[in-house]
Every structure is written in structure tokens, then in C-alpha cells.
Amino acid sequence: MRNVRLKTFLLMIWFGALVLALGWVIGYLFGNVSLWMTIALVMALVQIWASYWYSDKIVLTMTGTRLVDPNESVEAQMLYNIVEELSIAAGLPMPKVGIMETMEPNAFATGRDPDHAVVVATRGILKILNRDELAGVIAHELSHIKHRDILLTSMAATMALMISYLANLSWRMMFWGGFGDSDDRGRNPIIALIGLLLIFLAPLAATLIRLAVSREREFMADAGSAQITRNPEALASALEKLELYGKQMPKSALAKTNPAFAELFIVNHLKGDWMTNLFSTHPPTQERIRRLRSMTAY
């Protein structure tokens, strides 16, 4: 718990420093550094505040997730019952339950603490997994909630999204307005070059923000799922199906969802080259399956 709080605090500091750096770059290149630094500071503080208190709503909106009534359909009833049963087993308050309307099988949890958590399953995962496998997946997400790392991942996702937008805005402003004619702009070519590099590298910094939550958390959540369900094979079998589905897909249906949210899902739905895999927020699925099957039943 203390470690999570420390990581969240450090994430806020890193994010604020990066936004202020971008504000300085924009001000240096286009004039009026103090104004742009003030704007950047206000934006950083507002984003940190919104990420802490409303990260769950931001994530649900950006992923197109809707909260469900357990009586609306057989699938919703099954999902709700599984979440309720496993929440009791895990000693957690009942979280809200949502369904993301996509046929790609996946799931995630979000929220700032166990009392304000949401567990989400896609329509696709409800179709391809049996009840035990779905329970393994839901228990994995509840383990994230129990370990209190959902706030960190949700904040990292929303902050990375803002960094990416700011970097994109900076590039657009540069192409639209150039360096201008002010004596205060571009006077030192070395500083100007550093500024350009910062704008160029900002998306990479956003990725590093997402990686602030170690890949080890996925292994911990897998182990937590096995402990809650007393059935490591359930999650292992579910991960096998999700991995097989991912290999058969020419392109992820969730690619329309901003990559900043990739680390929220139980499996990484984004495909890419070796560089993408290097900065993946998830460990290899096969390694997760191997570890689960090496466990004895609790």
C-alpha cells in the first residue's frame, strides 16, 4: 500500500515536470515563456486532480464502456454474479460492472480505490470463455483492485494521453507558426534543438509513464487470481484462448482505443514491431501461462 502511494506521488511529480518542460519549450519557441509555463502548470494541476478523482470516468468514456444492470441480459447477469461471488471471496466491496461493446475478448479494472472500482469485460470475452475461465479473468482484475494499483494504472493512462496530445499540439504549432520573428525565439540554436528533441521525445516519455507500473504487477495479479479462485488453470486456459485469438486477428479491434490505455487490459491488444514489444506494459503471455501452471492449487 505504501509502495503504491509512493509510486503514485512520483508519477505526479514526473508528469508535472514533463508538462512544465513542454510549456517552457512552447514558450521559448513561440514567445512569452512565463505565460506558457503558467498555462502548463495550471494544465498539469488540473490533469492530476482529474486523474485522481475521475480517472475511472475518463477511462470508461474513452473506451466506450457502459455500466450494466444485471437484469438486462443473461450475459450481464452471469458477469455480475461472478464479480459478486469473487468480490466476497477476495474480501472486497462489490465494484461496479461494465461491458465494453467490442467482440475482441479482453477485460480491465479501473478506479481510485476498492470503494470506487469498476470491473469491465468486453462483449467478446463473454462469448469465448466458459464460466471458470471468465472467473479466472475477473479474479485477476479484482486482484489489481485489492493490490490498489488500479489508481496508478488509470492515472498513468490518462496522463500519458495528455502528454501525447501536448506533444502533437506542439508539432502542429511549429508547422503552423514556425519560429516567428521575435528576438526571444530561436536565439540560441542549441536550446532550440533541445526543445525540438523534447517535443519529439515526449511520446516516449509518455510511454515511460505507462511503464511506471512494473510488468511484475501482472504476475502478481495472476497469482492473486489463483489464490481467489483456487484454480490457476482457469486463468491459464483463459490466457491461452486470448493469446490464440490475438494471433488470428490481422489487426486489433481495440486499435481505435488510444494506446495509452493498453496497460489496463488483461492482455496487450496492440501489435507492433520489436520496439513496440520492448516497451509493452505486459509480460509475455506464454510466461504468464507457464507460471500459472507451475502453481499448486491453493
Instruction: Please identify which residue in the block is written with the cell numbers 443473461.
Output: 74
Contacts of 198 (CB under 8 A, 6+ apart): 21, 22, 25
End-to-end Cα spacing for the chain: 24
Task: Give the distance, in angstroms, between the CA of residue 204 and the centroid of all CA atoms in the same chain.
Answer: 15
In the chain, what are the helix, strand and coil shares in percent, each to the nearest 5? Answer: 70, 5, 25
CA–CA separation, 1 and 202 (whole Å): 30
Q: What Rg do the C-alpha atoms of the chain give, in angstroms?
A: 21
Quick one: which H or E segment has residue 84?
helix 74-90
CA–CA separation, 57 and 203 (whole Å): 23
DSSP 92-144: -PPPEEEEE--SS--EEEEESSGGGEEEEEEHHHHHHS-HHHHHHHHHHHHHH
Contacts of 278 (CB under 8 A, 6+ apart): none
* Residue from 141, 216, 233, 287 carrying the catalytic annotation: 141
141 is an active site residue: yes
Phi, psi for residue 198 in degrees, rounded to 5: -65, -45
Residues with catalytic roles: 141
